[in-house]
């Protein structure tokens, strides 16, 4: 078997063969008239034409002597091509035989017909090289078997794995459907900064970089929330953003460091109205993307069309663990975590809030959903409005699906004094070494002091898409980040 270098060298010689005949192996233009998908759909009408010009990647070649069959694919569909030496210029025929390899992109011209076996085919009268491939495509059965190889060479993975192409197409539909739903509801799409002086809107460790022109350290955003709420202050009634988020945290089947997220904000609304709105959104996006509301996710059978449940944060934890989060101290919660054999990162800084959060995650994994988690303590959420009936709780909900949180929304905190106080509490946590606690954003507090109406805010990330696909989130990114390949 020839080595990769030998194959490459052979293909370079074929490229030189074309060049020697004055043929550009990488021309800029093609006379291609239509996509192969349209050819298949309108085949009968197109057979009436004397000639059509098509193009695509050569994925198969068979036959020998004076008769060559091959298949081309242009990303929308495939079609068989046929070259007959005695019915075309012999030199053009021989040039195809001597220079074309699997993986090459070619333009082909000829007449469409159906073979005796019922195969829709283009009988080629002339052809043109569009891009000569210097490296071979991997073997369909033996190539790209390991996960890292598939992710690193995703462009090849797509060629031979139809389910990967389908995933990428569904991912596009997912965000298009999200955008369609929000626009139809009167929301305006905006873009907010990715580089920030101060991060906010979530509890996460940011990426830090240096801004050369201003000679200062800046952060990649962990959320667009505080910018979008400034637009509420500005008087826009409904805004949303779909964009990249960066969090310098751990990597697992549900978490990545950079990913796409949607956040939307509606003035004069609240979290109770928001729950109805979000249930409608999830159903719309799922139906548009997957043509169903029923999913198999992990070990759960999920039906988004059924009644969405309401889960009380403290009640769920007490029911499943026996811990009353309003009375327990850090030692008691940690003892329970050990009893339940919950694995968690303690780190240099570990407080009651972090301990309770780990206890909740243990409980959450047992809840199928769909439903909304409510009645979260204020210590767990520094940006949500307190409940008037119980100031120790916030008006926040999270979508619970297949044992995970698939989106968060709340009645936004618009009291600047309360917001400043919560930032101060977060600052204490940061001073104690908690680098995931939120930074104080004085400019945002000042914006709130100018007045922000009652507002409902919500966000979900592409993790929702990965769950509906029932695949690890890394598999559902088109080009996930990988370590550099070692030489």
Are 112 and 166 within one domain?
A: no
User: Which residue range forms the structural domain that includes residue 39?
Assistant: 4-131
Q: What is the mean pLDDT of residues 412-429?
A: 89
Are 102 and 243 within one domain?
A: no
| 354: in domain | no
| 483: in domain | no
Q: What would the pLDDT profile of 21-61 be if each residue is shown by its tens digit? A: 999 999 999 999 999 999 999 999 999 999 999 999 999 99
CB 478 within 8 A of CB 288: no
What CATH number does the domain containing 228 carry? 3.30.930.10
What CATH number does the domain containing 64 carry? 2.40.50.140
Are 288 and 178 within one domain?
A: yes
CB 439 within 8 A of CB 356: no
Of 116, 131, 146, which residue is a domain's last? Answer: 131
Helical segments of 62-145, H only: 90-99
Are 233 and 299 within one domain?
A: yes
Strand-pair category, 52-64 with 105-114:
antiparallel
Q: What would the pLDDT profile of 325-356 be if each residue is shown by its tens digit? A: 999 999 999 999 999 998 877 766 678 888 99
pLDDT at 144 over 70: no
Are 271 and 401 within one domain?
A: yes
Half-sphere exposure of 360 (CA within 13 A, CB side): 22
Are 264 and 381 within one domain?
A: yes
pTM of the model: 0.89
Enter the tokens of residue 249.
């945290």
| 346: in domain | no
Which helix (DSSP H) or strand (DSSP E) does residue 424 occupy? helix 416-431
**How many whole angstroms from its chain centre is CA 471?**
12
Are 183 and 299 within one domain?
A: yes
Of 94, 115, 131, which residue is a domain's last? Answer: 131
- Kindly state the percentage of the chain with pLDDT values over 90: 77
Question: What whole-number distance in Å separates Cα of residue 370 and Cα of residue 89?
Answer: 65
Are 375 and 268 within one domain?
A: yes
| 264: in domain | yes
Enter the tokens of residue 431.
């001073």
Are 123 and 163 within one domain?
A: no
Q: What is the mean pLDDT of residues 194-217?
A: 89
| 456: in domain | yes
Mean pLDDT of the chain: 92
Enter the tokens of residue 140.
């369909």
| 239: in domain | yes
Are 127 and 163 within one domain?
A: no
The DSSP result for 53-84, as a single string, is EEEEEEEEEEEETTEEEEEEE-SS-EEEEEEE
Tracing tokens 């008087």 back to the chain, one arrives at 235
* CA proximity to 275, closest of 175, 412, 396: 396
CB 467 within 8 A of CB 406: yes
* CA proximity to 286, closest of 398, 189, 399, 197: 399
Are 105 and 233 within one domain?
A: no
Secondary structure percentages of the chain, helix, strand, coil, to 5: 35, 25, 40
Enter the tokens of residue 425.
């509490």
Quickly count: other Cβ atoms within 10 Å of residue 409's Cβ. Answer: 28
| 349: in domain | no
- Kindly state the percentage of the chain with pLDDT values over 70: 98
| 92: in domain | yes
pLDDT for the residue numbered 476:
94
Are 192 and 243 within one domain?
A: yes
Number of structural domains, the chain? 2
Question: What whole-number distance in Å separates Cα of residue 189 and Cα of residue 395?
Answer: 25
CB 259 within 8 A of CB 463: yes
141 — pLDDT class (breaks 50, 70, 90) = very low
Q: Which of 141-145, 375-379, 380-384 has the lowest mean pLDDT?
A: 141-145
143 — pLDDT class (breaks 50, 70, 90) = low
pLDDT at 255 over 90: no
């Amino acid at each position: 078997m020839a080595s990769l270098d030998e194959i490459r060298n052979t293909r370079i010689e074929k490229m030189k063969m074309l060049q020697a005949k004055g043929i550009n192996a990488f021309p800029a233009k093609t006379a291609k008239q239509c996509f192969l998908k349209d050819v298949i759909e309108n085949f009968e009408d197109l057979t009436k034409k004397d000639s059509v010009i098509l193009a695509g990647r050569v994925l198969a070649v068979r036959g020998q002597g004076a008769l060559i069959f091959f298949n081309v694919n242009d990303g929308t569909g495939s079609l068989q091509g046929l070259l007959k030496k005695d019915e075309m210029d012999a030199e053009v025929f021989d040039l195809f035989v001597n220079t074309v390899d699997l993986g090459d992109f070619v333009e082909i011209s000829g007449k469409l017909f159906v073979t005796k076996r019922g195969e829709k085919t283009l009988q080629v009268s002339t052809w043109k090289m569009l891009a000569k491939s210097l490296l071979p495509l991997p073997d369909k059965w033996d190539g790209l078997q390991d996960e890292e190889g598939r992710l690193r060479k995703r462009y090849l993975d797509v060629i031979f794995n139809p389910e990967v192409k389908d995933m990428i197409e569904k991912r596009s539909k997912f965000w298009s459907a999200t955008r369609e739903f929000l626009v139809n509801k009167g929301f305006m799409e905006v873009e907010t900064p990715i580089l920030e002086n101060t991060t906010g809107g979530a509890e996460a460790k940011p990426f830090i970089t240096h801004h050369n022109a201003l000679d200062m350290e800046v952060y990649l955003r962990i959320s667009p929330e505080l910018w979008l709420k400034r637009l509420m202050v500005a008087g826009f009634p409904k805004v949303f953003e779909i964009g990249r988020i960066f969090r310098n945290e751990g990597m697992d089947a549900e978490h990545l460091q950079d990913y796409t997220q949607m956040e939307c904000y509606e003035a004069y609304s609240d979290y109770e109205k928001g729950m109805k709105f979000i249930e409608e959104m999830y159903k719309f996006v799922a139906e548009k993307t997957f043509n169903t509301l029923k999913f198999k996710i992990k070990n759960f059978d999920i039906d988004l069309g059924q009644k969405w449940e309401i889960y009380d944060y403290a009640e769920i934890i007490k029911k499943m663990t026996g811990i009353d989060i309003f009375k327990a101290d850090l030692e008691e919660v940690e003892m329970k975590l050990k009893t339940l054999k919950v694995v968690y990162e303690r780190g240099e800084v570990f407080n009651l809030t972090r301990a309770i959060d780990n206890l909740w995650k243990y409980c959450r994994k047992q809840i199928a959903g769909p439903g909304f988690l409510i009645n979260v303590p204020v210590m767990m959420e520094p940006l949500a409005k307190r409940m008037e009936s119980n100031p120790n709780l916030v008006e926040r909900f999270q979508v619970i699906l297949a044992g995970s949180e698939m989106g968060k929304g709340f009645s936004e905190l618009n009291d600047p004094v309360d917001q400043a106080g919560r930032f101060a509490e977060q600052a204490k946590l940061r001073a104690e070494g908690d680098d995931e606690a939120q930074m104080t954003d004085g400019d945002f507090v000042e914006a709130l002091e100018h007045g922000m109406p009652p507002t409902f805010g919500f966000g979900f990330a592409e993790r929702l898409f990965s769950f509906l696909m029932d695949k690890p989130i890394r598999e559902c990114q088109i080009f996930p980040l990988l370590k550099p390949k070692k030489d």
